[in-house]
Amino acid sequence: MARRIIAAIKEQIHKGAYLPGDRLPSTRAFATEWGASRTTVTAAYSQLIAEGYLSSRPGARAVVAQGLAMQPAAAAPSTASPRHLSAYAQRVLALPPPATQQAVRVADFRYGNLSGADFPLPAWRRALNKAVLRRPKLLGYDDPSGTVRLRHALQGYLWRARGISAAPDRIMIVNGSQQGLDLCARLLLDPGAPFVIENPGYLLARQAFAAPGGIPIAVDVDEDGIRTDALPPARLAYVTPSHQFPLGSVLSATRRRSLLAWAERAGAYIVEDDYDGEYRHDIAPIPTLQSLAPDQVIHAGTFSKTLSPTLRLGYLVVPPALQEAFSAVKRLSDRHSPLLEQEALCALIESGAYERHVRSIRRKNAERKSVLLEALAQSVGTRITVAGAGSGLHVVAWLRDVPGEREAEIIGVARAAGVGLYPVSALYDPGQSRPARAGFILGYAGLDADTLRKGVDVLKTVLDDIGA
């Protein structure tokens, strides 16, 4: 048995599962896991120490010796294919892979990033402490729609912040808005069912609705939002009416009425993604579609843009007729979202700390946006046109007189210079024409003022170098 233990630990070290300085389990714990005596495990550890694989000191657990860092051998590509994949799995695998995030030296303008310095750590720590004290009496499964306390707290918050009047049983807590979109797709779309989506639009929404077999119908957007003059029959329409992603337009009042009338005629539901509705800089709050037609609209919101994407907490406000179906599908998906985080978020909202935090980061991000726009005006000037600056956490910079075919070239040169750029063209329907000129989405919420200025300076240098 000791030889087996010695060989197994050596193999894990050589594979890189244990790195120099990593602590091994105690001899007691290892003996329990392997069904061996503690004496046997102690003898194995002693042999590994003698051979220089481990080191130890009195009273401490053995650690992997320094200088044993191993490069794991590259695995040979597998030629085996799955015996059977469902049609759903095959559709998912056929979707375009997401862009790989790479480290940059100067500034990464990736949209959706937040500044870690903005996270309300003291308030969140207090809320977690309260949650820990409350949870011991509820060490079991909970309602798939979310804890009752959190849904009650959200009822008040959504009415104050977004004008939504919804009973708690119409509110569902999900693992980020992306899970909410996935639930909508599974509930409302059969293979071959058409759905309307904005063009350009949110790529992961398109993929979530296409995965169960939905057929996308891309509808162009302009300065008034999605065009509603000739919407085709469909099961649902996915829209971002308060801040169109990515172009930033606001759906006009006329088109809101037109979209709701279409949904009534088509018997369709509207999925309203309010992904950054808390960030209004130069415009008044925009009424939600859900508040205008609660029986037709599924409202999706998230805490990823106000607290952190790592929390994976979002919510849906669903029409009364869909409450039971959403709850049943959510239960099958993951039983319920994490309870400790739900309790902490509830405490944050009930104490008023969450809304104070939102007001604070709204002000900070308005300042970041002003710094970015000022830097662009001073450095790049008339070579760009900025769109979508009225709200949200990003702007779109269109390059004048630079054809869209040069986007990849500009991205490559910028990355080599230490700046991450992300094209608008990637968010257009692949079956339709792309924009004639180059354009980039510039996210600013994760960057400080100095980094924003440095990033824009590098962008100017890049454009100068390539003659754009």
What's 18's domain CATH number?
1.10.10.10
Average pLDDT rounded to a whole number, residues 300-326? 96
pLDDT over threshold 80, residue 45: yes
Q: What is the pLDDT confidence band of residue 361, given thresholds at 50, 70 and 90? A: very high
Domain count across the chain: 3
Say which amino acid occupies 457: D
Q: Tell me: cis bond preceding 319? Omega within 30 of 0 counts.
A: no
| Residues 398 and 314 occupy one common structural domain | no
- In a domain, residue 270? The reply is yes
Q: Are 345 and 354 in contact (CB under 8 A)?
A: yes
Do 349 and 378 reside in the same domain of the chain?
Answer: no
- Verify that 335 and 416 share a domain, yes or no: no
Note whether residue 57 is domain-resident. yes
Q: State the Cα–Cα distance between residues 81 and 211, nearest whole angstrom.
A: 21
**What's the confidence (pLDDT) of residue 283?**
65
What lies within 8 Å, CB to CB, of 17 at 6+ separation is none
User: Within 10 A of 23 (CB to CB), how many other CB atoms are there?
Assistant: 13
Residue identified by tokens 């903005």 is: 118
CATH number of the domain that residue 379 is part of: 3.90.1150.10
Same domain, 189 and 254: yes
Q: Which of 356, 378, 399 is the last residue in one of the domains?
A: 356
User: Does the pLDDT value for residue 121 go beyond 80?
Assistant: yes
In angstroms, the CA 200 to CA 197 distance is 8
- Please state, rounded to an integer, the average pLDDT across all residues of the chain: 91
pLDDT (tens digit, 9 = 90+) per residue, 423-460? 999 999 988 888 999 999 999 999 999 999 999 999 99
In a domain, 129, yes or no: yes
Identify whether 35 is part of a domain.
yes
Same domain for 152 and 256, yes or no, is: yes
- Omega cis (within 30) before 122: no
Task: Judge whether 85 lies within some domain.
Answer: no
Same domain, 262 and 313: yes
Range with the lowest mean pLDDT among 12-26, 200-214, 360-374?
12-26
First to last CA, the chain: 69
My answer on whether 391 and 249 are in the same domain is no
Residue 126: which pLDDT band, with cuts at 50, 70 and 90?
very high
Same domain, residue pair 18 and 7: yes
Which structural domain, as residue segments, surrounds residue 156? 119-356
Q: Which range has the worst mean pLDDT, 24-28, 185-189, 365-369, 374-378?
A: 24-28
pLDDT for 369 beyond 60: yes
pLDDT category at 261 given cuts 50, 70, 90 is very high
Q: For residues 140 and 111, state if they share a domain.
A: no
Q: Are residues 292 and 394 in the same domain?
A: no
pLDDT of residue 138: 57
Distances (CA, A) of 351 to 147, 274, 339, 344: 17, 24, 18, 11
The whole-number pLDDT of residue 466 equals: 81
What does the pLDDT read at residue 106? 94
Q: Which residues contact 124 (CB under 8 A, 6 or more apart)?
A: 307, 344, 348
Q: Is 206 within a domain?
A: yes
pLDDT (average), residues 134-152: 83
Which of 312, 335, 356 represents a domain boundary (last residue)? Answer: 356
- Per-residue pLDDT at 282: 65
Please say which residue of 356, 385, 417 terminates a domain. 356
373 shares a domain with 304: no
Residue 441 and residue 415 share a domain: yes
> Does 75 fall in a domain?
no
CB 327 within 8 Å of CB 142: no
Q: How confident is the model at residue 71 (pLDDT cuts 50, 70, 90)?
A: low
**384-387 and 269-273 strand pairing:** unpaired
Residue 141: CATH number of its domain: 3.40.640.10
Tokens encoding 248: 């930033």
CB-based burial of residue 236 (10 Å sphere; 0-12 exposed, 13-18 middle, 19+ buried)?
buried
Q: Using CB atoms within 10 Å of the CB of residue 42, give its burial: 0 to 12 exposed, 13 to 18 middle, 19+ buried.
A: middle
Q: Which pLDDT score, from 0 to 100, does residue 393 have?
A: 94
Q: What percent of the chain has pLDDT over 90?
A: 72
